[in-house]
Amino acid sequence: MATPDLLNLPPMLPCTQPLPFSHDEWLAELKFDGYRVMAATADEGARLQTKRGIDCTSWFPEVVSALSELPAGHVFDGEICVMDRLGHCNFEQVRARALHGGTFTGCDPVVFCVFDQLFDRGHDLRAWPLLDRKDRLKRAIAGAEPALMIVEGLPGDGHWLWRKAEELMLEGIVLKRLDSVYQPGALSMDWVAVSRPGSASERRKARGRASLSA
């Protein structure tokens, strides 16, 4: 089965704003601090690519192994993270994988936090509404844990999830229109990222290190 070329599928990007909101037509997800990655499954195995188009397949073998158990022709969008049990992300541990070109003694395991699916066994889902893509995603990777994690969303109540993110000192939230289609490479108002002030990603930006993110 032909697998779509990831080089032709840059990730859809969220706009940013400082404050959360709640709306019945929007879904709220937790925001993660790792490497944004597009993943494709094929008969010969899985392939991973960063948002900047770098092949990172060798960096995260546990994710590749889990994805390789799935049928060919899937394309997923998500964030590869190192997380503790409360959901706090360690960006530097993920970055260390990139610097080493793979695993190394003492490295922590990563998890692929998957929040979208663009293709299902070669079938193009990009024009489907977000909610329908989410349903297909849940069926596609059900039971593939622990290296793969489905990012669930909360419809209608961005403020509640924002309060939880603040309470647990997580990165923030991403708000998405329930009917949004997937627009590769687009900076879209259909997705809105709200970062918690003082979060790790915000501190990196303040130090001028945002360019180091893959």
Report pLDDT digits (tens) over 128-172.
999 999 999 999 998 876 899 999 999 999 999 999 999 999 999
Residue 148 sits in which domain range? 13-209
- Mean pLDDT confidence for 179-187: 98
> Could you tell me if residue 7 is inside a domain?
no
4 domain residue, yes or no: no
Number of domains observed in the structure of the chain: 1
Per-residue confidence (pLDDT) for residue 211, from 0 to 100: 46
pTM for this entry: 0.92
For 64-73, what is the mean pLDDT? Answer: 95
| Domain contains 37 | yes
In a domain, 3, yes or no: no
- The residue among 25 and 212 whose pLDDT is bigger is 25
User: Would residue 71 count as lying in a domain?
Assistant: yes
How does DSSP assign the chain, residue by residue?
A: -PPPPGGG-PPPEEEE-SS----TTEEEEE---SEEEEEEEETTEEEEEETTS-B-GGG-HHHHHHHTTSPTT-EEEEEEE-B-TT--B-HHHHHHHHHHTS--TTPPP-EEEEEEEEEETTEE-TTS-HHHHHHHHHHHHTT-TTTEEE---EET-HHHHHHHHHHTT--EEEEEETTPPP-TT-EEEEEEEEEPTT-HHHHHHHTT-GGG--
pLDDT for res 198: 84
Q: Can you give the CATH number for the domain in which 164 is found?
A: 3.30.470.30
Task: Specify if 133 maps to a domain.
Answer: yes
Residue 22 lies in a domain: yes
Higher model confidence: residue 214 or residue 161?
Answer: 161
